[in-house]
Amino acid sequence: MDDVLFGGARLLADIGGTNARFALQRGPGRIEEIATLACAAHATFTDAVRAYLAGHPGAARELRHAVIAIANPVEGDFIKMTNHHWQFSIDAARRDLGLDTLLVVNDFAALSMSVPSLADADLEQVGGTRVSPDAVIGLVGAGTGLGVGGVIPDAGRWKVLPSEGGHVAFSPSNAREQAILAYCWTKWDHVSAERLISGPGLATIHEALCAIDGVAGAALEPAQVVERGLAGDQLCAEVLDVFCGALGTMAANVAVTLCARGGIYIGGGVVPRLGEFFAKSSFRARFENKGRFTDFCKQIPVYVIHAPYPALAGAAAMLDQQLVDARAAAQRAPIDSVTSTHHAHA
């Protein structure tokens, strides 16, 4: 099968609004030559690809297949990035780069696809007692936004369940969160979960608590909130705990919505930076506070993802499936053609 999936190096990429991370894959699990390029330094998507490949001329000559995980909805052939000016036709880019295959997928779908194959060393368990093998897995990722998704076992393989669950309405679980939500309503008609459970959400929670408590404080960047909270600043520590508790409620919502007996995985850049604070926070108590479904949630383990480049591995797995399916379709084509001809003359 490897000759079908590879036949030379494959290009992998994980593209966000600020940076584009590229890598080469020459065999199963062999993700190498990882490099990060600033999107702003390149006029177009294909310019960035060529800039990366210029450092790997041998791979560029043998390149046939590529997969791009991008922080953007992927619907049809045309891609126009939400948080950057790049826009391109997938098919035109494929031809321009001389590729047989250019698969473009949503970055959170790629992260979701990476989850079933993550090593134990890349995961930190936070509570839970039992995993059901080959069960639905849920994923929540707090970073620049709030990603939600899942993977479903399907005939020996995994199928990604796309979701825009980060945009559901934020649901407060106590009076403090209710006051934060009321403050946010003075700014936005719809307060999504993403407004608060994300990197930018840390700054929003801090701003709200300052206003609620009548504290005169300068606006803080998310990284400053994390740094000060972990250093013992009382207000910023409360911001972090509000964030963790709200994430616990959101993760439990995903668990019961999907019946995610395969576990809930936490991705994104925020939680891994919190270290031991997260494990000791209100996250797990809130995750298990589900009324008649408390016992259900108590059994479900939560895993924080610490793998360095999981979206690249997930994108590679999605390309595997694409190529295998394409080969199967090509092998069926002569049979389908004969069958169609036979029916036509019947």
So what's the pLDDT on residue 96? 95
Under CATH, what is the fold of the domain 120-305? Hexokinase; domain 1 (3.40.367)
Higher pLDDT: 26 or 43? It is 43
18 is in an annotated binding site: yes
Q: Is 341 annotated as a binding residue?
A: no
Q: Is 17 annotated as a binding residue?
A: yes
SS3 assignment, position 33: strand
- Residue boundaries of the structural domains of the chain: 1-111+309-326, 120-305
Is CATH 3.30.420.40 what the domain over 1-111+309-326 is classified as, yes or no? yes
Picking from 342, 324, 307, the residue whose alpha carbon sits closest to that of residue 122 is: 307
Do domains 1-111+309-326 and 120-305 share one topology? The answer is no
Tokens matching residue 94: 């494929």
| pLDDT tens per residue across span 68-107 | 999 888 889 999 987 789 999 999 999 999 999 999 999 8
* 13 marked ligand binding residue: yes
Q: Is 16 annotated as a binding residue?
A: yes
Q: Any known ligand binding at 20?
A: no
- The model's pLDDT over 66-75, given as tens digits with 9 standing for 90+, comes to 999 998 888 8
Angle between helical axes of 222-231 and 199-213 (0-180°, round to 10): 70
Task: Give the pLDDT score at 327.
Answer: 81
Mean pLDDT value of segment 54-59: 89
CA distances from 263 to 74, 159, 251 (A): 27, 16, 10
